[in-house]
Chains A and B, each alone.
Chain A
Amino acid sequence: MATIDHVPTPTIEIDRTESIWSKIVHHGASHPLGVVGAFIMLVFIFAAVFADFITTYAPTTTNSAISLLPPGHGHLLGADAMGRDIYSRIVYGARISLAVGLGSTFLGSIFGVALGLTSGYIGGWVDLIIQRLVDVLQAMPLLVLALVMAAALGPALDNTIVAIAIPLIPYTARVIRSNTLALREQPFVEAARAVGMSEFRIAVRHVLPNTVAPLIVIATAQLGAAILTEASLSFLALGVPEPHPSWGRMLSESAAEYMRVAPWLVIFPGLAISLAVFGTNLFGDALRDILDPRLRD
C-alpha cells in the first residue's frame, strides 16, 4: 500500500514584517487622527516608563520654601501648596493612570471574555444566569458602581483597579457573547466538531481567536473610560491614596481651594487627564474603523 510521507504544500512567500509595516503605513495614512492618538499615547507611555530619567525632583518631596510657586523658576509647571513639583507629579502620575487604566481594562477583559464566551458558546441556562448577572452589573452607572466598590474595598492602588474593572465586565461580556453566538454557527466550528475536537478546545482554540478584533476595539474604548473613572474616584478621595501622585487627586479639594491664587494647580493635571484620554479615544476610533467597521457609531 502506497503511503504518502510528504505532501508537498504550496509555498507562498509572504514577507510578514513588510506586510505589517505596510499595513500600518497604509492605515495610518487613511486615519491621520488615529496616528495623532497613537503618538499622544506613546508620549504618556514614555513618560510613565522613563519617569525617573525625565524629572529632577521626586514627586513626593515637599519643600515649604516653594509653596504655590508659579510655573518657571526651575519648576517647569510650578509647585503645589506643599511645595511639591507639579511637573514631577504629572510625569509620575502617568504611571498611576496607566497602571490603573491598563490593569482594570485587562482584568475586566479577562472576566468579560470568560463570561461572554461561556455564555455564548454553552447557551441554555448557563447563558440565562450569566446574562442576568451581566444585567445587574450593567444596570448601574459606571462611576456609581465603581464608587461603591472602591468604598467597600478601601482606598489602595490595587483595590482601585478591581473597583474599576468590575463595572467594565458586562460590556465586554455582551460583545464577546454576541460574537460567539455568530461564530458558533460557522462551518469551521462544525468541521472541528466533525473531527472529534472537544467543545472546550473548539471554544478556546477556534472561537476565542476570532473575537480578538472586537475585544481590542472595546478594550481600547474602555482604557479611556478607566483612566477617567480613576481620575474621578481619586478626585473624590476614594481612589488612589496619598502619597501616590494621581492626577485626579491633584485636582481634589486642595486644588480647588487655591484656584484663585494658583490656577496652575488646576490647569496642568486636568490637561494631562484630558490629553491622555483624548489620545486613547482618537486611537480607539481609528482602530475600530480598521478592525471592525460594523461597530462604527
Chain B
Amino acid sequence: MGTYLIRRFFLMLLTLFGISVLIFTMLRLVPGNIADIVFNAAGMIDVAEKAKLEKELGLDRPIAVQYVQWVSGLAHGDLGYSYVSEKPAIQEILPRIPITAKLAGLALCFSVLFGVPLGVLSAVRQNSTLDYTLRVISLSGLSIPSFWLGLLILMACVAWFGTIPIYTDPPKGFWNALALYSVPAAAVGFRSSALVMRLTRSSMLEVLRQDYIRTARAKGASERNVNYHHALRNALLPVVTVIGIEAAFLMGGLIVTETVFNIPGVARFLVEAIRWRDYPIVQNLVMFIAVVAVSINFLIDLLYAVLDPRIRYAS
C-alpha cells in the first residue's frame, strides 16, 4: 500500500507537469496576444508602442523562459498579473473560488439526494413502468444541455413569479445564498444526478445477481433487508467513484451555467479570461481546475482502497 501510494503520488505530479506544459504551449499558439487586442481596439498600430507593451508583459522573451518564470512563480504563490485588470492574478481568482465551490457542492448534494434513491428504486423494480420512466428521465438528463435547462428555468421564473433569480449583489445570509445558488445548482445537478442514478441502478443490479444475495434470501432475510442491507452497501462502491469524478468534472457544466445565471465564479471567469486572452488568468485557472480534478481522483483511489478490502494494489 505504501509503495502504491508513493507511486500514485508521483504519477499525479507528472500528470500536473504535463498539463502545465500543454496549457502553456496551447495558449502561446493563440493568434494574436493581448497587445494585439489592445491596439486593435484602439484602432491604431504603433509598432514601437506595441513592442514596448509586449516587453513590459514579458511576451518578447522565449517561450521556455516564460514557462520557467510561470512555474517558479507558482511555487512561490506568485501567479503574475492579470493583463486586463492589472491586479495580481491571485487576487482576481481567490475570491471567486468559494462561489463556484458552493455551487458545485450544492449540485453534488442534489445529484446524490436524487440519484442514489431513484437508482435503487429503478433497480429494485427492474423492468417495471417506474423503471422505464426513470431510465428515460435519467437519459434525458444526460441529453439536455445545462445552459438550456438554465434558460428554461429562468423563463419559467419570469412567467410564474415575474422576476428572475439572477445574481446581482452578493447574497446576504445563509437562506438568501441558498435560494440564489440552488436554482443554478439544480440546472447543473440534473445531469450529475442522472449519471449517479444510472450507475446506482446498474451497480445494484450487478450486486443483486451475486451468490451472497441468494444466500441471504435463502436464509429467509426479508426483501427489504436484502435490498437495503446486503445489496445497497456493496452497490455504493462504484457510485462513490462516479460521484468523485463528477465532483472533479462538474466544472464543465458550471462554465455554461455560471454564464447563464450571471454568477461571478471561477468558471465564468475562465470564459471571460479566454475571450480577453488574459494568459495569466487562463493558465492559472486551468491549472487550478486540473489540480482540483487530479487531487480528487487521487483521494478517490485512496478511499476505494479503504472501502474495498478486495483491492490489493500490486506495485
**Which A positions have Cβ atoms within 8 angstroms of B?**
33, 132-133, 135-136, 139-144, 147-149, 151-154, 224, 228, 231-232, 235-238, 248, 251, 255-256, 259-260, 263, 266-267, 270, 273-275, 277-278, 280-282, 285, 296-297
In the bound complex, CA of A56 to CA of B240 (Å): 52
In the bound complex, CA of A24 to CA of B62 (Å): 59
Of the 9-residue stretches B46-54, B65-73, B147-155, B212-220, which lies at the interface with chain A? B147-155
A139 in contact with B26 given A238-B274, A270-B148, A274-B145 (CB within 8 Å):
no
Cross-chain contact of A278 among B27, B140, B248, B297 (Cβ < 8 A): B140
In the bound complex, CA of A248 to CA of B146 (Å): 12
Does A149 contact B151, Cβ atoms closer than 8 Å? no
Cross-chain contact of A232 among B11, B199, B256 (Cβ < 8 A): B256
In the bound complex, CA of A263 to CA of B199 (Å): 35
**B14 and chain A: residue at smallest CB distance:** A132
Chain B: residues with Cβ within 8 Å of the partner, total of 54
Does B27 contact A132, Cβ atoms closer than 8 Å? no
Could you tell me the dominant secondary structure of chain A's interface residues? helix
Does B151 contact A256, Cβ atoms closer than 8 Å? yes
In the bound complex, CA of A231 to CA of B143 (Å): 12
In the bound complex, CA of A100 to CA of B84 (Å): 33
In the bound complex, CA of A73 to CA of B50 (Å): 54
Chain B residue numbers with a CB within 8 Å of A132 are 11, 14-15, 18
Does A136 contact B15, Cβ atoms closer than 8 Å? yes
**A133 and chain B: residue at smallest CB distance:** B18
5 cross-chain pairs, A with B, having the tightest CB-CB distances, nearest first: A143-B252, A270-B148, A136-B18, A278-B143, A277-B143
Cross-chain contact of B152 among A143, A154, A270 (Cβ < 8 A): A270
Cross-chain contact of B155 among A139, A151, A259, A282 (Cβ < 8 A): A259
Does B202 contact A135, Cβ atoms closer than 8 Å? no
Q: Which of the listed residues B132, B148, B199, B294 has the most CB atoms from chain A within 10 Å of its own CB?
A: B148
Does B18 contact A228, Cβ atoms closer than 8 Å? no
Does B270 contact A147, Cβ atoms closer than 8 Å? yes
Does B26 contact A149, Cβ atoms closer than 8 Å? yes
Chain A residue numbers with a CB within 8 Å of B155 are 259, 263, 266
Q: Please give the distance in Å from A166's CB to the nearest CB on chain B.
A: 10
